[in-house]
Copies of this chain bind each other. A is one copy, B any other.
Amino acid sequence: MYRTHNCGALRIENVGEEVTLSGWLQTSRDFGGMTFIDLRDRYGITQLVFNMDDDADLCQKARKLGREFVLKATGKVRERSNKNPNRNTGDIEIEVTALDVLNASKVPPFTIENDTDGGDDLRMKYRYLDLRREQVQNNIIFRSQLALETRKHLSGEGFIEVETPNLIKSTPEGARDFVVPSRMNPGQFYALPQSPQTFKQILMVAGLDKYFQIVKCFRDEDLRADRQPEFTQIDCEMSFVTQDEILATFERLTKHLFKSTIGVKLGDFPRMEYDEAMKLYGSDKPDIRFGMQFVEFNDVAKGHGFAVFDNAEMVVGICAEGQAESYSNKHIKELTAWMQRPQIGAKGLVYVKWNNDGSVKSSVGKFYSDEQLMTWLEKAGAKKGDMLLILSGEDEKTRKRLNELRLEMGRRMGLMKEGDFKPLWVVDFPLLEWDEESGRFHAMHHPFTSPKKEEVDRMLNGDHETMKSLKADAYDLVINGVEIGGGSIRIHDRALQSRNFDLLGFSKEEAEAQFGFLLGAFEYGAPPHGGIAFGFDRLCAVLNGQNSIRDFIAFPKNNQGRDMMIDAPSPIHDEQLEELSIDLRKQEAH
């Protein structure tokens, strides 16, 4: 037996007991005749004591042990004279009478502390050491807890977890598939699922009624900062439901998860139409922890001789409360430069300050009188001490830039409060997006999303322009400006689905080859259905007020899609290639 207790278990009530603990040497301190070792496992840290007077050999042995050695210690629990109130086990220590070294350790390449000195690459390579750090370990434990609560809650609501296959069929729409050559079917490939979308719809046709799955999905994309080639979804689908019922169901789930894991009680989730979100926040995932909604100035700003505004499609700004006196010319210049970076690409930034003394100051003061500027301030509902920040240009682009500015001001003004969670349903997304470049429609959500019931006739019979204005029963859940997930009511009618494939530029043959099974299924009594998927990695991060999903994945890949620890991907043997009936292409020089 390696232990009677773990390293976080012993309390003052255990004093006098003979116990055995196993764990890692966290730190070791010598004080002349005494040696103290902090023994660590995932449950906590317990202090071991060795005394030269009691057992000189044992004490000498203890002194030779290095960090991260694995030890088994037996001894008596005693009360500490010098208690440590920051530690659960801080009232006691173990007077060790027997010590086994279960394994030695080389000196770790970085310190196993929350504040480690290890860089990203080193910690990825030695992930097993990084995972010993308390905060990383807590993230992984949190993830496990969140998954369990999700499963318990959804099962309690009658959902069935069904495992859908991982070896499926390549459908070269959207992101790239990872593919898997089939040895038994030479020249043919499986694909790894980007999502279980069609399978969960098939389960609805099969009458499963309420499906969920916490499921790995795969996308072969060029990795940006916080993307992973494999990621996890809470994937759900329901039959015989309206959008309202789906939103209510997943609002309950979200509330349950916040309550059960971090003890936060969320209020009812407001809803906002996509069009309104774009108009007021320039984003389909607004952070509504703070206001600072967009104010349009076209009516008051145009026609006064300031060419920039006169020629702009849209003049739009925000009111930064109490910031008039905080922004000197230097600060404004710095903020303008921030907005002019290529990532954002604003041409310039106009301010209007309403100083505390009642005076008005603006970068466009020579084009507008104070009275005119006062109408702007009034329009924005400003008070003395506030400052307007205004952009102009092409409508859509300008709003996107203003969204960035609003978020930056929110950060600077401390309006994104930690521990403040503001969920929001964004609803009524457009069904289709016209892409000038490729000259065709793209699905705003995905090709299986249904137009709103009242739009079906327009979709089946309308002209090209009509298609641009179709609204879908599609929705996103946004928390603090982060998209947690999204879903839609699906098409369950073969004719409507075919029409959608047409609009998206599929030939009849392509649609049949890729999705024939689904179109076929729709002919055998497909029920009305809809669903949603939450990004599970993202949800873990948001609940912990963090940005990076990588910290919540036990073995993440780096930005080149590599697992640095196991060194994958890697070359395979020629015999394997031969069995798979594939050859490597010679690489051309770039």
Contact call A180/B167, Cβ cutoff below 8 A: no
Query: Which of B183, B206, B492, B572 meets A170, CB within 8 Å?
Result: B572
In the assembled complex, the CB of A209 is this many whole angstroms from the nearest CB of chain B, namely 5
The residues of B that contact A137 with a CB separation of less than 8 Å are: 206-208
Query: Which of B70, B132, B163, B245 meets A216, CB within 8 Å?
Result: B163
Contact call B242/A1, Cβ cutoff below 8 A: yes
| In the complex with contacts A69-B525, A166-B166, A207-B41, A561-B182 CB distance below 8 A | yes
Question: Nearest residue in B to A104 (C-beta to C-beta)?
Answer: B525
> Per-position contact with B for A192-225: 1 when CB-CB < 8 Å, else 0?
1000001100110111110000001010101100
Q: Which of A69, A167, A242 counts the most chain B CB atoms within 10 A?
A: A167
The residues of B that contact A140 with a CB separation of less than 8 Å are: 160, 162, 208
Among A50-58, A322-330, A345-353, A516-524, the stretch in contact with B: A516-524
| A493 close to chain B: CB less than 8 A | yes
Contact call B566/A493, Cβ cutoff below 8 A: no
The residues of B that contact A568 with a CB separation of less than 8 Å are: 167-169, 190-191
Complex Cα–Cα for A144 and B183 (A): 31
Question: Nearest residue in B to A186 (C-beta to C-beta)?
Answer: B587
> Per-position contact with B for A554-576: 1 when CB-CB < 8 Å, else 0?
11010011110111111111011
| A126 close to chain B: CB less than 8 A | yes
Query: Which of B152, B493, B581 meets A103, CB within 8 Å?
Result: B493
**Is chain A's interface secondary structure helix, strand, loop, or mixed overall?**
loop
Q: Which of A140, A143, A230, A579 counts the most chain B CB atoms within 10 A?
A: A140
Contact call A166/B42, Cβ cutoff below 8 A: no
| A584 close to chain B: CB less than 8 A | yes
| A401 close to chain B: CB less than 8 A | no
| A151 close to chain B: CB less than 8 A | yes
| A179 close to chain B: CB less than 8 A | yes
Query: Which of B162, B220, B521, B575 meets A128, CB within 8 Å?
Result: B521
The residues of B that contact A587 with a CB separation of less than 8 Å are: 186-187, 581
| In the complex with contacts A169-B567, A208-B140, A554-B162, A185-B561 CB distance below 8 A | yes
Question: Nearest residue in B to A192 (C-beta to C-beta)?
Answer: B180
Question: Nearest residue in B to A516 (C-beta to C-beta)?
Answer: B567
> Per-position contact with B for A230-253: 1 when CB-CB < 8 Å, else 0?
101000000011100100000000
| A189 close to chain B: CB less than 8 A | yes
Q: Which of A170, A183, A207, A220 counts the most chain B CB atoms within 10 A?
A: A207
Contact call A165/B202, Cβ cutoff below 8 A: no
In the assembled complex, the CB of A365 is this many whole angstroms from the nearest CB of chain B, namely 53
Question: Nearest residue in B to A205 (C-beta to C-beta)?
Answer: B128
Question: Nearest residue in B to A492 (C-beta to C-beta)?
Answer: B103
Question: Nearest residue in B to A142 (C-beta to C-beta)?
Answer: B160
| In the complex with contacts A155-B144, A561-B185, A103-B230 CB distance below 8 A | no
Query: Which of B22, B180, B242 meets A240, CB within 8 Å?
Result: B22
Query: Which of B41, B162, B182, B230 meets A166, CB within 8 Å?
Result: B230
Complex Cα–Cα for A108 and B183 (A): 34
Contact call A161/B148, Cβ cutoff below 8 A: yes
| A176 close to chain B: CB less than 8 A | yes
Contact call A183/B176, Cβ cutoff below 8 A: yes
| A114 close to chain B: CB less than 8 A | no
Query: Which of B184, B209, B582 meets A584, CB within 8 Å?
Result: B582
The residues of B that contact A41 with a CB separation of less than 8 Å are: 207, 209
Contact call A24/B206, Cβ cutoff below 8 A: no
Complex Cα–Cα for A147 and B516 (A): 32
The residues of B that contact A191 with a CB separation of less than 8 Å are: 568, 572
| A99 close to chain B: CB less than 8 A | no
| A141 close to chain B: CB less than 8 A | yes
Question: Nearest residue in B to A72 (C-beta to C-beta)?
Answer: B240
| A548 close to chain B: CB less than 8 A | no
| A282 close to chain B: CB less than 8 A | no
Contact call B126/A169, Cβ cutoff below 8 A: no
| A367 close to chain B: CB less than 8 A | no
Question: Nearest residue in B to A553 (C-beta to C-beta)?
Answer: B163
Interface residues of A (CB under 8 A from B): 1-3, 6, 22, 24, 40-43, 68-70, 72, 102-106, 108, 126-132, 137, 140-141, 143-144, 147-148, 151-152, 155, 160-170, 172, 176-192, 198-199, 202-203, 205-209, 216, 218, 220, 222-223, 229-230, 232, 240-242, 245, 492-493, 513, 516-517, 521-528, 553-555, 557, 560-563, 565-573, 575-576, 578-585, 587
Task: Known A-B contacts: A2-B240, A172-B575. Give 8 more (CB < 8 A).
Answer: A68-B525, A105-B523, A132-B206, A140-B160, A167-B218, A169-B569, A172-B573, A188-B570
A-B contact pairs, 5 of them (CB 8 A): A1-B245, A2-B242, A70-B525, A163-B554, A581-B585
